[in-house]
Structure 1
């Protein structure tokens, strides 16, 4: 998980998008490296954000966009009542389980992106006050959005981690290299 630049970086647009998204995924997960479940679940600021919650949220957001693009129902769709559970581990969930779930979503995202006929293919946006009525976006837009969304949360994860023990991203990369 250490590579910030993939060992293989295909020059095609799909490969570039997938590599940028994977780099952001790694940054979010890396922020929890070496912490206990309790430390990763802690909220060191007035925010509700925790490292384990950020990992789960990013995984579920990616799944949601993938299902929208595929035109399939989201098996983890959140309701107003369960929305908050997307930001914390519940019912005995662990970081390794959530990371494994996200890895499965990532694999499925890659398979979908590589198989879609065109990144210009569109799909409908869900009803929401922040989306236009009957709006549509392209697969390319979805990929850009995932880079933005996961990247934003990678920054959150850095801040949460630094608040816990003062370790920044590059220190975590070095720690990971020494222990793997």
Structure 2
């Protein structure tokens, strides 16, 4: 599991990164002790599985990181692969997804540590859900990751509780 350094700086960067990591951890903890089959199961009315949620949030983080870095996203989904965003396919495994996410988490931390200012902006891609010629700050991105991960941590907690009664967040 990726972890921030043992001392979390009290500055804004350290604080925001610690909140991002806390939400990552909440999602990861829902997978503890499960088999691949259990992690892929959908025990609630939702189509969500724990392994699918982990894959989704890892891909969300890499997408936002690549936007901020203004680099190509190696995990970019196409209309044909969009349905694979919430489920493991082919030879994907929970450890593999979590390992990928660990790498992205470390990369996010290093990138944020290196940007001159959290006020630095980057352009949003053209998409119906983004404003035309929109830009956001590094701070906005980190807060968005907290929001996104927290939403899915709640989903993951409900799926895990439906699966075996375990309350990862309680």
Identify the TM-score tier after normalising by the shorter chain.
Answer: over 0.9
Aligned residues: 169
Q: Structure 2 CA distance, aligned partners of 1:120 and 1:93?
A: 37
- The Cα of 1:7 is off from its aligned counterpart by 4.9
Aligned structure 1 segments of 4 or more residues deviating by more than 4 angstroms: none
Local SS of the residue matching 1:169: coil
- The Cα of 1:164 is off from its aligned counterpart by 0.2
Local SS of the residue matching 1:25: helix
User: TM-score by structure 1 length?
Assistant: 0.90
- The Cα of 1:46 is off from its aligned counterpart by 2.6
CA RMSD of superposed structures (Å): 1.7
Q: What's 1:95 paired with? A: 94
Q: Show CA shifts across 1:122-147 (max 9, x none).
A: 01111121111010000000000000
**Which ranges in structure 1 are unaligned for 5 or more consecutive residues?**
172-180
Q: What's 1:139 paired with? A: 138
Q: Show CA shifts across 1:62-104 (max 9, x none).
A: 0000000000000110011101111001111110110000000
Moved more, 96-105 or 43-52: 43-52
User: TM-score by structure 2 length?
Assistant: 0.95
Q: What's 2:65 paired with? A: 66
Q: Structure 2 CA distance, aligned partners of 1:170 and 1:56?
A: 19
**Which ranges in structure 2 are unaligned for 5 or more consecutive residues?**
none
Q: Structure 2 CA distance, aligned partners of 1:100 and 1:165?
A: 25
Q: What's 1:35 paired with? A: 34
Q: Structure 1 CA distance, aligned partners of 2:114 and 2:8?
A: 18
- The Cα of 1:166 is off from its aligned counterpart by 0.5
Q: Structure 1 CA distance, aligned partners of 2:121 and 2:82?
A: 27
Q: Structure 2 CA distance, aligned partners of 1:135 and 1:129?
A: 11
